[in-house]
Amino acid sequence: MKVLVTGAAGFIGSNFVLRVRETRPDWEITVIDALTYAGNRASLAAVENEITFVEGSIADAELVDRLVSANDIVVHFAAESHNDNSLDNPWPFMESNIIGTYRLLEAVRKHDKRIHHISTDEVYGDLELDDPNRFTETTPLNPSSPYSASKASADLLVRAWIRSFKINATLSNCSNNYGPRQHVEKFIPRQITGILDGVKPKLYGAGANVRDWIHVDDHNDAVVAIIEQGRLGETYLIGADGEQNNREIIALILELMGKPADWFEHVNDRPGHDLRYAIDSSKLRAETGWRPQYQDIRSGLRQTIDWYAANRDWWEASKAATEAVYTRLGR
């Protein structure tokens, strides 16, 4: 199978390519990535002789048309992915997440290919802390931030192309990923690399916000399961029953890194900060048999901390620029 992976110099896409090189060695992989601030070719260094890497934007219609026509399936990770950035400057989110997805859909339609669209649980908005319900595939879309609104827009485009043009497509909406090769702007790597640099973790507001954490390899194994076993036209929610609030995550990181439990500081909250995400992944589990391999966030975080400690070269260059943005934003 010839597979075009968009955004594979980023966190989840690079882990996807590394993983399927092991689990699906017969897949021929081509990558398209614009190498924005979030893209890092070093993430693919271990397989660079085994894949084709094309630097370019998914908003480039001619390039997308050529690459889609030469492959069997598009696995679509490319996006602007950080909420704080979308609150600062929404435009890149509109261009990459909405226009870029539109370009891919039109090429998939023209050449009669398949697309698997990667999305997020954030399209469903947020839940109260004591709400017994979790998100399911039928939860109405209710995004809060420019980022999540742009992802919900892309999801709606994919659904419309399925319904109106009968394209071969599947969608998945996953909860918060953690693991190696995540940009240092994100919550967990920001704190780990900060501690490695002697800086206290930064907690937005009171830190009661809950995220439903999943290891990136579990997310990517679910994506492979949907590609191979998912029903065309369907949406699947991906989650590993990993709800933790932000205070609990910081406490665990501090413990694992040998720091006192109170060695963190509160900073300004994110405007419009979603309170809680929680995923019911029963449909995915029932239809594909997928189960998360990382049952225990403690062991997954241990592996993640060890990776950042051993790979300073990978993150050091972007750390200062990232913290300069946070200083400007007051967070």
Provide the binding-site residues for ligand NAD, judged by CB under 6 A.
6-7, 9-13, 32-36, 38-39, 57-59, 77-81, 96, 100, 118, 120, 151, 174, 176-177, 183
Catalytic option among 33, 80, 122, 243? 122
Place of tokens 């909250």: 269
Which residue in the set 213, 277, 290, 294 belongs to the binding site for ligand DAU (CB under 6 A)?
277
Taken as a whole, the chain contains a residue count of 331
Nearer to ligand DAU, 117 or 186 (CB): 186
* Size of site (CB under 6 A) for ligand DAU: 20
The residue range among 116-124, 230-238, 295-303, 305-313 that interacts with ligand DAU, by the rule CB under 6 A, is: 116-124
Distance CA 201, CA 41 (A): 28
The torsion region of residue 18 among left (phi > 0), alpha (psi -120 to 50) and beta comes to alpha
145/268 Cα distance (integer angstroms): 17
Among residues 116, 211, 276, 319, which is the contact residue for ligand DAU, using CB under 6 A?
Answer: 211
Sign, CA torsion 42/20/192/39: positive
Active-site annotation holder among 80, 106, 121, 221: 121
Q: In angstroms, rounded to a whole number, what is the distance separating the alpha carbons of residues 149 and 122?
A: 9
The dihedral built from the CA positions of residue 81, 161, 95 and 145, taken in this order, carries a sign that is negative
Residues 168-187 that bind ligand DAU (CB under 6 A): 175-176, 186-187
Do the Cβ atoms of 277 and 209 come closer than 8 Å?
no
Residue labelled with tokens 């070269």: 313
> 147-158: string of b/e by CB count within 10 Å (b at 16+)?
bbbbbbbbbebb
Task: Give the whole-angstrom CA distance, residue 290 versus residue 287.
Answer: 8
Please, what's the largest Cα pairwise distance for the chain? 58
Near ligand DAU in 55-84, by CB under 6 A: 81-83
**Residue written as token pair 């205070």:** 247
Active site residue 234: no
According to the binding rule CB under 6 A, does residue 144 interact with ligand DAU? Answer: no
Provide the 3-class DSSP secondary structure of residue 211: strand
Give me the 81-100 binding string for ligand DAU, x by CB under 6 A, dash otherwise.
xxx-----------------
For ligand NAD, give the closer residue by CB, 176 or 193.
176
CA 119 – CA 98 distance, rounded (Å)? 12
Q: Which does 30 bind (CB under 5 to 8 A by kind): ligand DAU, ligand NAD, none?
A: none
Q: Which does 187 bind (CB under 5 to 8 A by kind): ligand NAD, ligand DAU, none?
A: ligand DAU
Q: Which range in 57-65, 87-95, 196-204, 215-223 contacts ligand DAU by CB under 6 A? A: 196-204
Q: Which two tokens stand for residue 214?
A: 């999943």
Q: Is 121 part of the annotated catalytic residue set?
A: yes
Partner touching 202 among ligand NAD, ligand DAU, none, CB below 5 to 8 Å by kind: ligand DAU
Task: Answer with the entry of ligand NAD, ligand DAU, none that 83 interacts with (C-beta below 5 to 8 A by kind).
Answer: ligand DAU
37 is catalytic: no
Q: Which is nearer to ligand DAU, 167 or 210 (CB)?
A: 210
If the CB atoms of residues 206 and 309 are measured against ligand DAU, the closer one turns out to be 206
Q: Which residues are part of the catalytic machinery?
A: 121-122, 147
